[in-house]
């Protein structure tokens, strides 16, 4: 057991090391430099550019820059090139903004897709199953930005509520319930949009898991001995079908930092995705690299947690 | 000889007749596929889209195209679909084909129908080329991992590759002397590796040659670790970063999408190859002395291609969506060229005045992506014997 964890952790650290090298190389070998981002600015004289390059070690060879960057990252001293603020602080602020979207989106995904998936597995081939299948394909295929505009038009013309941004501007005097409703309306659309793809994929997955378990012999035995069908479906079949999903809790971890770029820029939501997008536009290398690094850490931690959960819940796996 | 005798003798013929009629693989495929109505619909739209994109390329290219997607008529801006052009204000050249704006015009008075036709080709090529790259790369990596996976990478291999890379890095940093020196050393090392390929590494007394011949890890481990590393990158963010840093061009987008999406195919192909190489027919072929490449491509690949085809079809859908998303964010194909993503992105500013600018490209993307997804899922059901409904 311990040796498995030890090996897995060492392996993940090596992977992380290579990820850090590759992302560093991708960013720095691309043509163009951050000092050239605004060549027409009259304040940006040659001396300024030189000072800028010296300040951020851009005049050093690549491997030195790499060492400097990751030393700063691990001591938490990395600063954004754009506004000289601490990158960790910046990411943390944006993360707190993205967190409600992530939580509501995840809750929506998991609470909606399970009933749909289970029901379509039980009524396989019937009308409900077929329409659920078709709608899940529809939701997978619809471009997120297009769907966002349909929903915005619908909500704005039907309910007359503002939906762009995190809250309505200049609402200071309003009463408490009003403010809360306003926040909920603003939260609702982006999180629904974030959840749609997840609902479609997860409900299909629940359905296929459920179908597989329903085909097992012990389910037939349970039916044959005359148990009521609810008990067969929900007690015998569902419990075993749930097994793979417990481990998926680990895999949703990367979604914490993912934050959809497109949805956040449509709704002007000041979250992680939007920050990353702005950093790319401004060639703010420390922010891009840090976001990349943190998300790689989360992916690796997620797979580790899911392995761990598998060990905990599946008695067939023993090390 | 004996088999020929038996097949000609009379008592076998009725037995042959009693069996179910023989069907070729394609016929069987079609028989199973036909029952899935949604997949059929998807396939029809798939071919229709293919056709439209080709026609669109022909009709919108050239100096005097039938539908000119770049022609600006400022006096005719934001006309709704099926609007008649105002003939008095237009030059004879500027009148759209069929004398009607089929899909309306945008904020610069450009014919949306012509732009949609032009964009169809972009979506199609981005989808196919990106997926082509990812499938080729995936099959290559997966095939090597599955077939040659047990071979070991030795220390001298790593040394050779490291030296060559170091040389290339020095060359890239304009250090020509060191660059060529390391490149030369690396090539020497590689030649040395090749020359001692045949020698078996047994328990020889410890010497320097033995140290260089130490096995470090297997090729399978190497490739699967590369896959793990690639999976660590958040894919859309990575694509966005690379596309934003590179000069805007449609080829960069195709290549980047292709290079960031081959991991799934690699895993499929590796898994299939690992199970196939243990099977008797591969053993038989190998015993006949057939070369490795023929075994891989003639005997194993046709058996492993099913899941690859499915994931490729769905991958095309994903690539089209990714390209549309990039165009929407303004990183797609550079402006004079129309794509469905940037028509939508331009149209979003007029969403209440000119909803067709949003809905026409949006619905088009939706239908095409949906058809690819349905077709792919249909293929999966047919090609996967486990999922087949037993009737």
Task: Note the helical H segments in chain B.
Answer: 2-8, 13-18, 25-34, 37-60, 112-147, 155-172, 176-195, 208-212, 219-231, 235-245, 250-259, 263-276, 280-287, 292-294, 301-329, 340-347, 356-383
Distance set, CA A45 to CA A35, A51, A58, A81, A311 (Å): 11, 10, 17, 17, 60
pLDDT tens string B111-163: 888 888 888 888 888 889 999 999 999 999 998 898 888 887 777 777 888 88
Query: Which of B241, B342, B369, B376 is the best substitution to test chain A (most A C-beta atoms within 10 A)?
Result: B241
Q: Look at residues B238, B12, B17, B116 and name the one whose alpha carbon lies nearest to residue A25.
A: B238
Task: Report the alpha-carbon distance of residue A142 to residue A150 in Å, rounded.
Answer: 11
Interface contact B365, partner A, CB < 8 A: yes
Query: If you average pLDDT over every residue of chain A, what do you get?
Result: 84
pLDDT digits 0-9 by tens, B301-322: 888 888 888 889 889 998 999 8
**CA B66, CA B68: separation in Å to the nearest integer?**
6
pLDDT, tens digit, 9 for 90 and up, residues A267-316: 888 888 888 888 888 888 888 888 888 889 988 998 888 888 888 887 77
- Asked, for residue B21, whether it belongs to a domain, the answer is no
User: Looking at the domain assignment, is residue B299 inside a domain?
Assistant: yes
**Which tokens belong to B109?**
């008075």
Q: What is the DSSP string of A76-93?
A: T--B-TTT--BHHHHHHH
Closest Cα in chain A to B314: A141
CA B354 – CA B359 distance, rounded (Å): 9
Q: Of residues B79 and B226, which shows the higher confidence score?
A: B226
Is B345 among the domain residues? yes
Q: What is the mean pLDDT of residues A53-72?
A: 80
Residue that the structure tokens 């009607």 belong to: B100
Taking an 8 Å cut-off on Cβ atoms, the answer to whether A19 and B370 are in contact is: no
Q: What is the pLDDT of residue B165?
A: 81
What per-residue confidence (pLDDT) applies to B232? Answer: 86
Of residues A22, A134, A295, nearest to B38 (C-beta):
A134
Residues from chain B contacting residue A145 (CB–CB below 8 Å): 324-325, 328, 344-345, 348
Judged by a CB distance cut-off of 8 A, whether residue B329 touches chain A is yes
Task: Count interface pairs A-B at CB distance under 8 A.
Answer: 121
Q: Is B14 part of any domain?
A: no
Residue B173 lies in a domain: yes
Residue B1: pLDDT band (50, 70, 90) is very low
The count of structural domains within chain B is 1
pLDDT in tens, B342-385: 888 888 888 888 888 889 999 999 999 999 998 888 888 787 66
Q: What is the pTM of this model?
A: 0.83
Mean pLDDT on B256-265: 90
Domain of residue B115, CATH code = 1.10.3720.10
pLDDT for res B136: 93
In contact, A166 and A270? CB cutoff 8 Å: yes
Asked which of A211-225, B164-178, B254-268, B283-297 is least confident by mean pLDDT, the reply is B164-178
Number of C-beta neighbours around residue A183 at 10 A: 15
pLDDT score at A111: 93
Residue B205 lies in a domain: yes
What pLDDT band is residue B390 in, cutting at 50, 70 and 90? Answer: very low
Tokens of A177: 């319930």
Look up residue B273 and give its two tokens. Answer: 């190859």
Higher pLDDT, B370 or B33: B370
| A 164-183 near B (Cβ less than 8 A) | none
For tokens 């550019």, name the residue: A49
Judged by CB atoms closer than 8 Å, whether chains meet at A141 and B241 is answered as: no
**Structural domain that includes position B319:** 44-366
Asked, for residue B29, whether it belongs to a domain, the answer is no
In a domain, B226, yes or no: yes
| Count, residues in chain A | 319
| Structure confidence by residue, pLDDT tens digits, B339-349 | 888 888 888 88
pLDDT of residue B9: 47
Cα separation, A308 vs A299, whole angstroms: 14
């Amino acid at each position: 057991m311990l040796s498995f964890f030890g090996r897995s952790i060492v392996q993940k650290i090596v992977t992380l090391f290579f990820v850090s090298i590759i992302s560093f190389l991708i960013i720095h070998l691309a043509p163009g430099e951050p000092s050239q981002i605004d060549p027409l600015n009259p304040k940006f004289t040659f001396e300024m550019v030189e000072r800028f390059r010296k300040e951020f070690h851009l005049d050093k060879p690549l491997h030195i820059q790499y060492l400097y960057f990751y030393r700063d990252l691990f001591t938490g001293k990395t600063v954004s090139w754009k506004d000289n603020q601490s990158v960790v602080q910046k990411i943390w602020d944006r993360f707190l903004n993205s967190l409600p979207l992530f939580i509501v989106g995840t809750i929506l995904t998991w609470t909606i897709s399970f009933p749909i998936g289970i029901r379509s597995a039980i009524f396989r081939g019937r009308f409900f199953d077929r329409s659920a299948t078709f709608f899940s394909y529809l939701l997978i295929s619809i471009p997120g930005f297009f769907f966002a505009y349909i929903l915005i038009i619908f909500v704005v013309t039907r309910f007359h509520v503002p939906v762009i941004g995190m809250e309505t501007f200049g609402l200071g005097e309003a009463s408490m319930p009003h403010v809360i409703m306003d926040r909920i309306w603003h939260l609702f659309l982006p999180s629904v949009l974030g959840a749609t793809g997840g609902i479609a994929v997860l409900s299909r997955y629940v359905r296929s898991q459920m179908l597989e378990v329903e085909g097992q012999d012990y389910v037939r035995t349970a039916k044959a001995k005359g148990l009521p069908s609810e008990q067969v479906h929900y007690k015998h079949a569902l419990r075993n079908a749930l097994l793979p999903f417990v481990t998926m809790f680990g895999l949703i971890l990367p979604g914490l930092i993912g934050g959809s770029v497109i949805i956040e820029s449509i709704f002007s939501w000041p979250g992680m995705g939007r920050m990353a997008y702005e950093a790319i536009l401004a060639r703010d290398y420390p922010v891009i690299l840090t976001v990349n690094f943190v998300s790689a850490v989360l992916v690796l931690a997620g797979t580790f947690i899911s392995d761990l959960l598998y060990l905990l819940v599946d008695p067939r796996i023993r090390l | 000889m004996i088999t020929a005798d038996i097949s000609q003798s009379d008592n076998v013929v009725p037995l042959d007749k009693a069996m179910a009629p023989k069907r070729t693989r394609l016929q069987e495929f079609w028989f199973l596929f036909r029952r899935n109505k949604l997949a059929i619909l998807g396939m029809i739209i798939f071919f229709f889209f293919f056709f439209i994109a080709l026609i669109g390329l022909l009709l919108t290219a050239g100096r005097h195209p039938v539908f000119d997607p770049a022609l600006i008529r400022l006096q005719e801006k934001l006309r709704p679909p099926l609007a008649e052009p105002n003939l008095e204000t237009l030059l004879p050249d500027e009148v759209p084909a069929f004398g009607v704006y089929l899909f309306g015009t945008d904020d610069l008075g450009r014919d949306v129908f012509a732009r949609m036709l032009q964009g169809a080709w972009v979506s199609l090529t981005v989808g196919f080329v990106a997926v082509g790259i990812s499938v080729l790369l995936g099959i290559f990596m997966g095939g090597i991992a599955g077939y040659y996976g047990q071979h070991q990478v030795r220390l001298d291999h790593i040394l050779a590759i490291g030296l060559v890379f170091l040389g290339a890095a020095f060359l890239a940093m304009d250090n020509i002397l060191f660059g060529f020196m390391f490149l030369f050393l690396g090539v020497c090392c590689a030649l040395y590796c090749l020359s001692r390929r045949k020698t078996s590494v047994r328990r020889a007394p410890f010497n320097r040659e033995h140290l260089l011949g130490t096995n470090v890890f297997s090729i399978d481990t190497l490739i699967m670790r590369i896959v793990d590393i690639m999976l660590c990158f958040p894919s859309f963010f990575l694509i966005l970063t690379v596309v934003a840093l590179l000069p805007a061009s449609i080829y960069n987008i195709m290549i980047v999408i292709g290079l960031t999406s081959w991991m799934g195919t690699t895993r499929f192909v590796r898994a299939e190859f690992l199970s196939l190489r243990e099977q008797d027919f591969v053993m038989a072929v190998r015993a006949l002395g057939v070369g490795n490449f023929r075994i891989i491509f003639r005997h194993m690949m046709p058996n492993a291609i099913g899941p690859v085809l499915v994931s490729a079809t769905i991958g095309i859908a994903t690539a089209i969506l990714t390209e549309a998303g990039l165009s929407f964010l303004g990183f797609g194909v550079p402006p004079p060229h129309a794509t469905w993503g940037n028509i939508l992105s331009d149209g979003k500013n007029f969403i209440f005045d000119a909803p067709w600018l949003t809905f026409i490209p949006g619905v088009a993307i939706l239908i095409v992506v949906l058809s690819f997804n349905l077709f792919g899922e249909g293929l999966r059901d047919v090609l996967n014997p486990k999922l087949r409904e037993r009737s």
